[in-house]
Amino acid sequence: MATDSEMIDVVQVDRPGAIGMPMLHKAIFIGLLLLGLVAPFMLYPIFLMKVMCFALFACAFNLLLGFGGLLSFGHAAYFGSASYISAYTAKAWGFTPELAILCGTGAAAILGLAIGSLAIRRQGIYFAMVTLAFAQMVFFFSLQAPFTGGEDGIQSVPRGYLLGLISMAPDRNLYYFVLGVVFVGLLVIYRIIHSPFGQVLKGIRDNEARMVSLGYRTSRYKLAVFVLSAALAGLAGATKAIVFQLASLTDVYWTMSGEVVLMTLLGGMGTVFGPILGAAVIVTMQNYLATFGDWVTIGQGIIFVVAVMLFREGIVGVIARIIRRPL
């Protein structure tokens, strides 16, 4: 990109090495937490919980795409299957919500390991197609398997008692539990990105052949991030099932995989905070414009086109460029 003549405008990153979380990121995380703490006093808690679950889902997807350079077109499989497992264990086996969510997350991780170990053998569009094909298989499984309830899904899942003690039936109680889960999930993703492992991932994303020539067995790292991403997407799906007391085919359908791509691109792929904003925008649109029916989908399509044509870096990506700081 830059040639000899373009020497003037060199971007200096504020952290040459790694010195923990920069102040700006710390401030944003604290701001998000404060916002999360006061928001249910102003907005409908169920809506907010939906935003948070999708924010975590999008961030988990972004971990794979934005930092691992791998475009999965089947992330609904992990989100949806975790939501089925979480709903089933809570309803049929009477698991407490945190245990049900853990089971869902674990199931998504195992599914991620199985699909990922086959998918990472292919690159680029073929990788995306393999993940999509497996996700479709998971969809048909969910449609046919006896325990998923077919078209009906698993309905009226009990919210239960957190640790068997605190009732999750009041929205406010559940809300703060979900806030905790999602916030910890986001911090985990942040740590993964900013770990020695995360450095290797960025290297693979930027130039895989070069990483190979430096002696890195890149496929192992790609599989590891695939499993982490699937597990975190599962965490989001499992939590969503408890919130809505429902696991349904929507969560595992391919359009869900498409939606998470849209959220990530709109917010800013490869940014830390972009997917959170992207998820908030899309979920808000779906919620408040729901009365317009199918027009929401058309609106999303237009947004997608505009984002790709005009600001490929996404909203947060553009802001990061303007303030010249990574976000």
Partner 1 sequence: MAPAIAIGSAFDNGHSVSMSGDTILEASGLTKEFKGFVAVSNVDLKVRRGSIHALIGPNGAGKTTCFNLLTKFLQPTRGSIHYNGQDITAMQPADIARLGLVRSFQISAVFPKMTALENVRIALQRRRGDSFDFWRSERALTEFDDEALALLADVGLTEFSATLAGELPYGRKRALEIATTLALNPEMLLLDEPMAGMTQQDIDRISALIRRIAANRTIFMVEHNLSVVASLSDRITVLARGEVLAEGDYATVSKDPRVVEAYIGAGHA
| 251-260 per-residue burial string, b: 16 or more CB within 10 A, e: under 16 | bbbeebbbbb
Calpha distance 33→28 (Å, rounded): 9
CB of 154 to partner 1, least distance (A): 32
Residue 24 in contact with partner 1, rule: CB under 8 A: no
Residue 192 in contact with partner 1, rule: CB under 8 A: yes
- Orientation angle between helical segments 254-267 and 295-310, nearest 10 degrees: 40
Q: What angle do CA 17, 19, 24 make, to 5 degrees?
A: 110
Q: How far is CA 272 from CA 43, 117, 147, 293, in A?
A: 25, 26, 37, 32
Residue 8 in contact with partner 1, rule: CB under 8 A: no
- When binding is defined by CB under 8 A, the residue of 180, 203, 258, 299 that contacts partner 1 is 203
Kindly give, in sequence order, each residue whose CB lies less than 8 Å from that of residue 291, ignoring residues fewer than 6 positions away. Answer: none
Residue 207 in contact with partner 1, rule: CB under 8 A: yes
CB of 296 to partner 1, least distance (A): 34
Which range binds partner 1 by CB under 8 A, 157-165, 173-181, 197-205, 309-317? Answer: 197-205
CB of 200 to partner 1, least distance (A): 7
CB of 86 to partner 1, least distance (A): 24
CB of 243 to partner 1, least distance (A): 27
Of 237, 244, 179, the closest CA to residue 40 belongs to 179
Residue 196 in contact with partner 1, rule: CB under 8 A: yes
Residue 19 in contact with partner 1, rule: CB under 8 A: yes
Residue 92 in contact with partner 1, rule: CB under 8 A: no
Instruction: Tell me the two tokens of residue 128.
Output: 């995306």
- When binding is defined by CB under 8 A, the residue of 211, 232, 276, 315 that contacts partner 1 is 211
Q: Which is nearer to partner 1, 18 or 118 (CB)?
A: 18
Q: Which residues pair with 166 in a beta bridge?
A: 162
Q: Which is nearer to partner 1, 89 or 218 (CB)?
A: 218
Residue 202 in contact with partner 1, rule: CB under 8 A: yes
CB of 319 to partner 1, least distance (A): 17
Q: End-to-end CA distance of the chain: give it in Å, rounded.
A: 22
Calpha distance 15→286 (Å, rounded): 39
Calpha distance 183→20 (Å, rounded): 18
Q: Judge whether 159 and 245 are in contact, CB under 8 Å.
A: yes
Which range binds partner 1 by CB under 8 A, 10-18, 94-102, 148-156, 308-316? Answer: 10-18
Q: Which is nearer to partner 1, 11 or 42 (CB)?
A: 11
Q: Which residues bind partner 1 (CB under 8 A)?
A: 1-4, 6-7, 9-13, 15-20, 191-192, 194-200, 202-203, 205-207, 209-218, 220-221, 224, 228, 270
